[in-house]
Structure 1
């Protein structure tokens, strides 16, 4: 048998009195891809970070982490520095948080080459261009001076991959590298990783909660829950005949059902005509405008009361910008009528009375809740602004009611966001929007950062709330499986324009445009994923 490149034996990681992992044992052979799968809190990322000893000092280890026969748990700091980045590299889950926002792409990749290879500026620049080209960044020389915020999500993830591969490691650890990416870019990243793995002969430890991805990229899979591996084996047999109840639960956990029926005679509560959001491109010493990014370019749409309009498209297509413009969170041109009110041109003060009826649930349940406020203050903040005459007792009663509607107990209002899981935080964000009893809610990727089983729970929750309150949704997402379970109407966006619009079921069954067909193939057809030729949008 092949000697394992990485061998983990009886690994237990403890934080205080709590075990994050319990007696884990698995191997990764040279050139092999092993997937660790499980829901949030199962111990996947803790296991991955432990390989390079990137956990905080409070972590207590027992067991062995053997890399090429060397125990990394007992390795000295100097020995770990020699391994990190050279022999083992890591792609982190969120590239926007992992990349330094004040350093250019060239500087960040060049730093890796300078530290580990001693490359000087000219050689490092040539190698950086070579790496960016290898990971599929178009015109890589022109991107050297770009900052992370100037790149799309897919491009940022490609830069992270370039950094991880800079020193041609023997083992690549990929921690949820495609979670926040749209389906076509996700397909490209998976295809890229597989091709680079084959060309470089490296092994890969792939962390994910998405079993669909595991089918496409892994040789073997280890299923984790509550810090333990409950089932392991080659991918095809395990998926065909899962033995453990938890594995069967994961395989069955995806959004299902159909959206509540909408009334075709219901009045329109949102009407948009020729909506444009153009961002100026400024260059030169005097920062003159030399062009525009047409994030939203001449959109017309209407949404009837009680229905859900799904908005889909790749990263950079203008989905979120459209939602923000409808709520007047960013400037725009064109006509916007919400609940019979022309909102375009209103001052912020004049918009305030309308805000209670127009709410939003943001994508990131980690960043959208203030870590310094308790849940009752987070949810009650809108009540204090829009209903100042409520007494403290009345406000508390409404907060408790909103928490109950999203399935959280009353005592949760005394806790802080960090004390909740990702799914629970997203429920809090939904409660914050619902407490004002709005009529129109924009849901901006509310399930993208959640496990598949939690996604299914949130989708069911949103459907129930919509039926009980008669809400109207704009549901923005790159996850077409979630959209299919919620949307009555669907628009497909690309480069700021609508390429297809109509009843959601009709578009899912018979897409007309080639672009929509490519999205559907990437989302639903396993055989075609990774074959699409669509390129990620290029930021200026």
Structure 2
């Protein structure tokens, strides 16, 4: 056997007296894919970060990390700079917090090429266009000058993948690289990573909580829990006969059950008529509007009290824009009615009293949580604004109840977002939304950052809260397995338009549109991505 490209021995990461990673050892050879799997907080991501010296400054690292003959633990800054982004690329878990909001994606990818390869502006731009096309960004020539906030969550993740692959690294560390992607694009990205491995002999350290992806891409699997590696071996052997009870528990976990029952005769909590969100396309020196991207193009919907309306579709289909428009977070046209109140005609100040009745859980929990505020301050901020009459003791009581409701210890109120795993941060975001006891909640990919067992717990939690409070949900997701467990009705979106809608159970049993059938096939048979027929997303619906 050839010598390993990456050799890790007794790697430990401590935060004070707490061991986040405890004596982890593994090898990775060129061209091989090793998957690190486990629940949120198991130590997967901090293991990956510590390989390149990217752990938080409060962490202490011991052990050995040999990469291609170079010891990385304790290496000086110059040695690490020569390896990071050049010989080792990394795809981070949360693209919105990893991309610079004041620079275009083209400039950010071009900077990597300039620093490591010395490419000039024209050559760097040409290579950036190739990379954006390779990772499935639609119409790269138009999107290269977009800023991160102008891309969907999945498109931002693909831009991060393009940046990590820019210098053809020997090793790619992928920390949940498909978390924000819809199922069809997941399959495309996995095929892309596999083809790059074959072309360049690149090793891949793949970190994920999605075991269906692991089975598709990994040669070997390492299972982690509580910072320790409890089982390792070839992928097929682990799936066929797991020896550790924790591995068996992971394999058995999956969102299940039926949506919470609700009285069908109830009236609509929120409804729309001909809702449109068109983003202007500006060109030329004077930035004149020459057309529009139709993110949402004439959508009619109604959500009854206690009902969940699921919204599915590929990245860029308009799902998140629809949710933001319902809450008046982005400009739109058409009619929006919330609890009998016309929303569109209200000024910003006049809309404020309605804000506590409509809340949102954003897709990227880290990007939506202030790093300067404690968890208690984050969850309690809305109470200060919308319930100013509460005493400090009453407010703390409501914060504690909200944290307990989403499965977090009350003691976490004094900690800060960076001290939590991705899944724990998402639960903080859910607590912040629920603390005001809203009537309508937009859930924008609320389980995308969670491992499968926690997904099931969150779905059960959302069902229980909905049944007790008769809360209405707009549930946006690319994971149709999760949607099936929660949604009463379903709308399928593509290019800003609704291509199919109806009772969720009926659509899952007998989809009428070819596009819906394609999504369902990809969602429930990811292990066979050859069934996915679309090689690229269609361009966004525009008018010029």
> Displacement of 1:506 after TM fit?
0.9
Distance 1:76 1:402, change over 3 A: closer
Asked if 1 retains the 8 angstrom alpha-carbon contact of 2:35 and 2:214, the reply is yes
For residues 12-27 of structure 1, what are the structure 2 equivalents within 5 Å? 12-27=12-27
Change (3 A) 1:408 1:175: closer
Aligned residue for 1:166? 166
Q: 1:276/1:215 Cα in 2 relative to 1: closer, same or farther (>3 Å)?
A: same
- TM-score normalized by the length of structure 1: 0.91
Runs of at least 5 residues in structure 1 that lack an aligned partner in the other structure: none
Q: Which range moves more in the overlay, 211-220 or 45-54?
A: 45-54
After TM superposition, give the deviation of residue 202 of structure 1 in Å: 1.4
Deviation of 1:33 after TM superposition, in Å, equals: 0.7
2: CA distance, partners of 1:157 / 1:408: 28
Alignment of 1:84-483 (within 5 A): 84-137=84-137, 140-141=140-141, 143-408=143-408, 412-413=412-413, 415-418=415-418, 420-483=420-483
Shift of 1:74: 5.0
Alpha-carbon offset, residue 254 of structure 1: 2.0
Q: Which residue of 1 aligns with 2:524?
A: 524
- 8 Å CA contact 2:365–2:429 kept in 1: the answer is yes
Larger displacement relative to structure 2 (162-171 or 196-205)? 162-171
CA-to-aligned-CA distance 1:87-122 (integer Å, 9 cap, x gap): 322222233333333334444333333333333444
Judged with a 3 Å threshold, the aligned counterparts in structure 2 of structure 1 residues 286 and 439 are, in CA distance, closer, same or farther, namely same
Distance verdict in 2 for CA 1:505–1:225, change over 3 Å: same
Residues in 2 aligned to 1:427 and 1:118: alpha-carbon distance in whole angstroms = 43
The 1-side partners of 2:170 and 2:420 are apart by 37
Specify whether residues 88 and 489 from structure 1 end up closer, same or farther in structure 2 by C-alpha distance, changes over 3 A only: same
Query: Is 1:522–1:532's contact at 8 Å kept on the other side of the alignment?
Result: no
**Partner Cα separation in structure 2 for residue 403 and residue 52 of structure 1:** 34
SS of residue in 1 equivalent to 2:367: coil
Count, aligned residues: 540
Q: Who is 2:82 aligned against? A: 82
Which residue does 1:493 correspond to in 2? 493
Note the C-alpha offset of 1:40. 2.1
| Aligned residue number for residue 536 of structure 2 | 535
* 1:262–1:488 Cα contact (<8 Å) kept: no
- Cα RMSD (Å): 2.7
Following TM superposition, by how much is the alpha carbon of 1:418 offset from its aligned partner in structure 2, in angstroms?
4.7
Shift of 1:159: 3.4
Q: Is the 8 A contact 1:358 1:438 kept in 2?
A: yes
Give the alignment's TM-score, normalised by structure 2. 0.91
Structure 1 residues 4, 185: closer, same or farther in 2, change over 3 A? same
The Cα shift of 1:185 comes to 1.7
The alpha-carbon deviation at position 271 of structure 1 amounts to 2.4
What's the offset of the Cα at 1:137? 4.3
**Residues 364 and 109 of structure 1: CA distance in aligned 2, closer, same or farther (over 3 Å):** closer
Bigger radius of gyration: 1
In the other structure, the counterpart of 1:69 is 69
| Corresponding residue of 2:508 | 508
Query: Any conservation in 2 of the 1:154–1:536 contact (CA below 8 Å)?
Result: no
For residues 305-362 of structure 1, the C-alpha deviation after alignment (integer angstroms, 9 at most, x for no partner) is 2211111112221212222222233332222222222222022333233333323233
SS at match of 2:73: coil
Find the aligned partners of 1:414 and 1:19 in 2 and give their Cα distance: 20
